[in-house]
Structures are given as structure tokens and as C-alpha cells.
Amino acid sequence: MRITFCCTGTKAQPWLEGLQAALPGAVVDLWTAGAASADYAVVWAPPQQFFDEQTGLKGIFNIGAGVDALMKLRLPPGVPVVRLDDAGMSVQMAEYVCHAVIRHFREFDGYEADVNAGKWSYRKPRSRADFSVGIMGMGVLGERVAQALQAFELPLRGWSRSPKSLPGVQCFAGEAQFHDFLAATRILVCLLPLTPDTRDIMNRDTLSRLQPDAYVINVARGAHLVDEDLIALIDSGHLAGATLDVFRTEPLPAQHPFWKHPKITVTPHTSARTLREESIVQIAGKIVALERGEPIAGIVNPARGY
């Protein structure tokens, strides 16, 4: 069995060694233009040429949860595309989102500024009931985030494509319930996949429907958010601010207003990193399962785009 590795922006050698160790019977190679076609591909944002040449693939493994970069390419028809299914990302995402929610709710950003100015000051405790957290995208990551947030007793709501029932979470589904979901949300967390249905989903209209003084946390993809609409709503006072981990252009360009905005916190797409060892175990296990003709989780539905 041949496995080809083509991951833009990723140090290849440790992956090649790890995959080889996990699948000792396989030949594991770094893809080069013109290479013979392999059985399985391990990829992150490969060029179109990769798929044009690799015509014998039986499976395509993406080393991330989001497959939006892959979905833009012409993929070989009928070949399963498999995304990472947690692989150590959900606990990181839970840490990141809980930190951002609590930092905002408890006004730790304000305390930090006060302390830096040498000020010993108190703020009036806020009511938990006023800080309903709404999670858009209740999949592998969204569910784990909701589970983690339950410890802090903030009201929780979740929105997904198909209806769900989760203890302690008020669940909304589909376009018909989107506005109701937004209307009572004070802290909005985006954990949607980027698809034609979700691109630009956080815009002037939808963000205006949130509770006054709402806060936005985007940890999914930059193209979910219309940047200038967010800034306009923060500057007009409708929104309190935002924590953003993902951007339309990454790295975030030096002149982008997000960098210096006093009410926006920026992190460099780091909320849930791909963990190499966990990912290799997952991918190798799924390759073995596919070879045996067994079903696997995490296959992308091309019609849905995630």
C-alpha cells in the first residue's frame, strides 16, 4: 500500500516517520509533482495538480477538521474525503472558548487594563442569567464546548442544521429557528464549517439581532464573519467586542484594523491545533479499517460541504 503526504505549511518529516511507524507495511512518501499514484493521501490545502495526478486514490485524509480548502478543488469522484474527528482538538477548543467567555463575562480584560494603570477597582458583579452563550455549530467541537461551559452555569443554546437534544442546552435547528437562536444570545460562538450556506453568516443583519452589548467569538473560519460589519457594530455600541482566532486572510495582514481595535482580541488561528500523534493514530486506524472494508467515522458529505 502506498501513502502520499501533501500538506502545505506543515513540516513533513515527523509526519512521514509517524505514519510509517503506524503502518509498517506501507510505503509512505512525500508527494512530488509527477509521482506515481498512491492508495491513500494525507493532505492539507494541496494544489489542484495533486488531485489531477493522483488518480488511483482510495481515500483522502485531511489533517484538520475543516475541509473548506479541499472543497474548492476538483476532487476525484467517489473517493471518500475524511476529516479529523476530534483527535485532541475538542479539549483545546473547550479551553479556548471557556477562557474567552469567562474573560468577557468576568471583565478580566477591564481588570487587566485597570491593574496596568495602577488602579485598584471593583466592577459590579454581572448576572449569569444575562449572559446566554449561543454556539453556532453543535458538532464534534461545538458539543464539547457546550459540555465544558456547563460548569459555569451560564444559560446555553446551540444551533445546528439538524435538530439535537442535549441536556442543559436549549437547541435550535435550521434557518427557521436561526433568528430565535440569535435573539436571546449575549455571547455568540461560531463553530460552523465554512460552506456556501455559512459564508458571511455573521453580518450586519444577523449580528444586529443579538442581545444589546453582545460579544462575538469566532473560532471557525474568517469568512464566516463580515469584518467591516463587526467593526461598525462594535463602534456604534451595539456589540461589546470580539475574540477572533480566524481571519479571511491568514496571517492577518499588518494593516488590518482588528490588530489595534481596543475591543477586539486576536489570536493566530491557534484555538485547536492539529496534534500530530493523535492524528496519525486516527488516520492509520481508519486506513486499516478501509482496507478491511469496515465503516469509518468522519467521512465528508460533498453535497453538504462538511
Q: To the nearest whole angstrom, how small is the minimum distance from the Cβ of residue 195 to ligand NDP?
A: 6
Quick one: which of 64, 137, 142, 155 contacts ligand OXD (CB under 6 A)?
64
DSSP 150-180: GGGT--EEEEESS---BTTBEEEETGGGHHH
Q: To the nearest whole angstrom, how small is the minimum distance from the Cβ of residue 219 to ligand OXD?
A: 9
Which of 28/192 has CB closer to ligand OXD?
A: 192
Q: Number of C-alpha atoms within 13 angstroms, CB side, residue 285?
A: 13
Q: Which does residue 155 touch among ligand NDP, ligand OXD, none (CB within 5 to 8 A, set by kind)?
A: none
Check residue 142 for interaction with ligand OXD (CB under 6 A): no
Structural element, H or E, at residue 22: helix 12-22
In angstroms, rounded to a whole number, what is the distance separating the alpha carbons of residues 80 and 88?
A: 22
Check residue 66 for interaction with ligand OXD (CB under 6 A): yes
Find the catalytic residue in 221, 276, 292, 304: 221
Mapped onto helix, strand or coil, the DSSP state of residue 267 is coil
Site mask for ligand NDP (CB under 6 A), range 36-75, x = bound = -----------------------------xx---------
Which of 268/285 has CB closer to ligand NDP?
A: 268
Phi, psi of 40 (to 5 degrees): -130, 145
Find the catalytic residue in 269, 276, 292, 304: 269
In angstroms, rounded to a whole number, what is the distance separating the alpha carbons of residues 212 and 231?
A: 15
C-alpha cell at 254: 499588518
DSSP 229-240: HHHHHHHTTSEE
Quick one: which of 65, 70, 188, 202 contacts ligand OXD (CB under 6 A)?
65
Phi, psi of 162 (to 5 degrees): -105, 150
Check residue 137 for interaction with ligand OXD (CB under 6 A): no
Q: To the nearest whole angstrom, how small is the minimum distance from the Cβ of residue 221 to ligand NDP?
A: 5
Q: Which stretches of the chain bind ligand OXD, using CB under 6 A?
A: 64-66, 274
